[in-house]
Amino acid sequence: MHVRGKCHCGNIAFTAEINPDRVRICHCTDCQKLSGSPFRVVVPVSENKFNLLSGNLKHYIKVAESGDKRQQSFCPDCGTPIYATSVGDSNEPKKLGIRLGAIENGFGLVPKRQFWAASAVKWLGQISNVRSFDRQ
């Protein structure tokens, strides 16, 4: 599936070929901290199926609980997270975890898996009972 995406300010724009069946939720504490949210939704894609159309990404290297290094790539102007990937040399193309919020109409993609469920906030399953408003 061909998708287009951009950051909040429009400095970064990209296209990618994704598999919508691979959309996933990550509840790890790194994703919680880096997103400022209880979880992050991502879709993995091979780096050779990701095309940066405009802008230059800023990178931050995060050391995971496992000791593995993860490159967080985001807009240097507005801070919108675009993707994360592994660090290091490999003969294989890297996998990028594109952040669903950066994909145009990305919230129409439904997650099929959840990871790090032990770190999930306990109230998440009760959110449908929380009073909601169509607009603020």
Q: What is the pLDDT of residues 68-98, one digit of tens each?
A: 889 999 999 999 999 999 887 777 888 999 9
pLDDT at 67: 85
What CA–CA distance (Å, rounded) separates 100 from 5? 9
Strand-pair partners of 103: 5
> What per-residue confidence (pLDDT) applies to 21?
95
Q: What single letter denotes the amino acid at residue 19?
A: N
Cβ contact 103:40 at 8 Å: no
Question: In the chain, how many H helices and how many E strands?
Answer: 1, 10
Domain 2-118 = CATH 2.170.150.70: yes
pTM of the shown model: 0.87
Domain ranges across the chain:
2-118
pLDDT at residue 127 in the model: 85
Task: Give the chain's radius of gyration (CA, Å).
Answer: 15
